Structure 1
Amino acid sequence: MQTFDAIIIGAGQAGPSLASRLTEAGMTVAFVERKLFGGTCVNTGCTPTKAMVASAYAAHTARRAAEYGVKLNGPVEIDMKAVIARREAIVAKSRNGVENSLRKNPRCTVFTGTASFESRHTVKVGDDRLEAKQIFLNVGGRATIPDFPGIHEVPFLTNTSLLALETLPKHLIIVGGSYIGIEFGQMYRRFGSEVTIIEKASRLVQHEDEDVSAAVLDILQGEGIHVRLDAECISLVPHAEGVSVGVQCNSDEPPSIGSHVLLAVGRTPNTQDLGLDRAGVATDERGYVLVDDQLRTNVEGIYAMGDCNGKGAFTHTAYNDFEIVAANLLDNDPRRVSDRIPCYAMYMDPPLARIGMNETEVRKSGKRALIGTRPMTRVNRAVEKGESLGFMKVLVDAESKKVLGASLLGVGCDEAIHCLLDTMYAGAPYSTVQRAVHIHPTVSELIPTLLGSLKPLD
Structure 2
Amino acid sequence: MPTSFDLIVLGAGTTAFAGARIAAAAGKKVLMIEQSHLGGTCVNWGCIPSKTLIHKAEMYHGARKGEGWGLNLQAGAPHCGTLMPLKQKAVVTVRETHYQREVDQSPNIKVIKARGHFISPCEIDAGGTIYSAPHMLIATGGEPRVVPIPGLDTVNFLTSYNALHLPCFPQSIVILGGGVIALEMGQMFARFGTRVTILERGPRLLAEFDLRLTELFRMMLEQEGVEILCNVEAQRVEKHGDNTCLFALINGAEVGFSAERLMLAIGTSPVTKNLGLEEIGVETDQAGFIKVDRQLRTNVPGIWAAGDVTGAPLIAPAGAREAQIAVKNILDPSGNHSIDHRFSPMAVFVDPEFATVGLTNIQAEAQGYSVLTTYVDLERVPKAHVMGEMLGGVLLTAEQGTGKILGVQMLCPRAADIIHEATLAIRFGLSVVDLSTTVHVYPSISDGLRQAARDNAQMQGLI
TM-score tier, shorter chain, comes to over 0.9
Partner secondary structure for residue 403 of structure 2 = coil
The aligned residue for residue 86 of structure 1 is 86
Counterpart mapping for 1:99-110 below 5 A: 99-110=100-111
Superposed displacement of residue 252, structure 1: 4.6
1:362-418, Cα deviation, whole Å (9 max, x unpaired): 455563222211111221212211222111111111033111211110112221122
Matches of 1:423 and 1:234, distance apart in 2: 46
The aligned residue for residue 183 of structure 1 is 184
Give yes or no for the alignment of 1:13 onto 2:10. no
Cα RMSD after superposing both structures = 1.8
1:266-290, Cα deviation, whole Å (9 max, x unpaired): 1100010111122221111111111
Contact 2:33 2:113 in 1 (8 A): yes
The aligned residue for residue 122 of structure 1 is 123
Partner secondary structure for residue 125 of structure 2 = strand
The aligned residue for residue 374 of structure 1 is 376
Contact 2:436 2:450 in 1 (8 A): yes
Counterpart mapping for 1:233-252 below 5 A: 233-248=234-249, 251-252=252-253
Report the AA paired with residue 280 of structure 1: G
Partner secondary structure for residue 59 of structure 1 = helix
Matches of 1:360 and 1:239, distance apart in 2: 45
Change in CA separation of 1:221 and 1:14 when aligned onto 2, cut-off 3 Å: same
Report the AA paired with residue 448 of structure 1: R
The aligned residue for residue 308 of structure 2 is 307
The aligned residue for residue 292 of structure 2 is 291
Matches of 2:198 and 2:312, distance apart in 1: 28
Change in CA separation of 1:241 and 1:453 when aligned onto 2, cut-off 3 Å: same
Contact 2:137 2:306 in 1 (8 A): yes
Provide the identity percentage.
Answer: 28
Give yes or no for the alignment of 1:316 onto 2:317. yes
Partner secondary structure for residue 283 of structure 2 = coil
Structure 1: gaps of 5 or more residues? none
What is the aligned residue count? 455
Contact 1:209 1:360 in 2 (8 A): no
1:123-148, Cα deviation, whole Å (9 max, x unpaired): 01112110111111110010111122
The aligned residue for residue 165 of structure 2 is 164
Partner secondary structure for residue 131 of structure 2 = strand
Matches of 1:250 and 1:391, distance apart in 2: 32
The aligned residue for residue 441 of structure 1 is 443
Structure 2: gaps of 5 or more residues? none
Give yes or no for the alignment of 1:134 onto 2:152. no
Report the AA paired with residue 140 of structure 1: G
1:308-341, Cα deviation, whole Å (9 max, x unpaired): 0114300111111122123323366432123652
Matches of 1:209 and 1:448, distance apart in 2: 19
Change in CA separation of 1:438 and 1:227 when aligned onto 2, cut-off 3 Å: same
Matches of 1:224 and 1:40, distance apart in 2: 30
The aligned residue for residue 61 of structure 1 is 62
Partner secondary structure for residue 148 of structure 1 = coil
Report the AA paired with residue 217 of structure 1: R
Partner secondary structure for residue 337 of structure 1 = coil
Matches of 1:213 and 1:64, distance apart in 2: 22
Matches of 2:260 and 2:176, distance apart in 1: 14
Counterpart mapping for 1:207-218 below 5 A: 207-218=208-219
Contact 1:204 1:216 in 2 (8 A): no
Partner secondary structure for residue 135 of structure 1 = strand
Report the AA paired with residue 131 of structure 2: L
Superposed displacement of residue 69, structure 1: 2.4
Q: Which moved more, 1:103-112 or 1:410-419?
A: 103-112
1:241-281, Cα deviation, whole Å (9 max, x unpaired): 41111221785553111000110001100010111122221
Give yes or no for the alignment of 1:260 onto 2:237. no
The aligned residue for residue 418 of structure 2 is 416
Matches of 1:296 and 1:160, distance apart in 2: 30
Partner secondary structure for residue 8 of structure 1 = strand
Runs of 4 or more, structure 1, over 6 Å off, are: none
The aligned residue for residue 328 of structure 2 is 327
The aligned residue for residue 271 of structure 1 is 272
Partner secondary structure for residue 449 of structure 1 = helix
- Superposition TM-score, scaled by structure 1 size: 0.95
The aligned residue for residue 452 of structure 2 is 450
Matches of 2:102 and 2:211, distance apart in 1: 45
Report the AA paired with residue 21 of structure 1: I
Matches of 1:245 and 1:386, distance apart in 2: 38
The aligned residue for residue 148 of structure 1 is 149
Change in CA separation of 1:453 and 1:6 when aligned onto 2, cut-off 3 Å: same
Superposed displacement of residue 24, structure 1: 2.1
Matches of 1:225 and 1:317, distance apart in 2: 31
Contact 1:103 1:110 in 2 (8 A): no
Partner secondary structure for residue 12 of structure 2 = coil
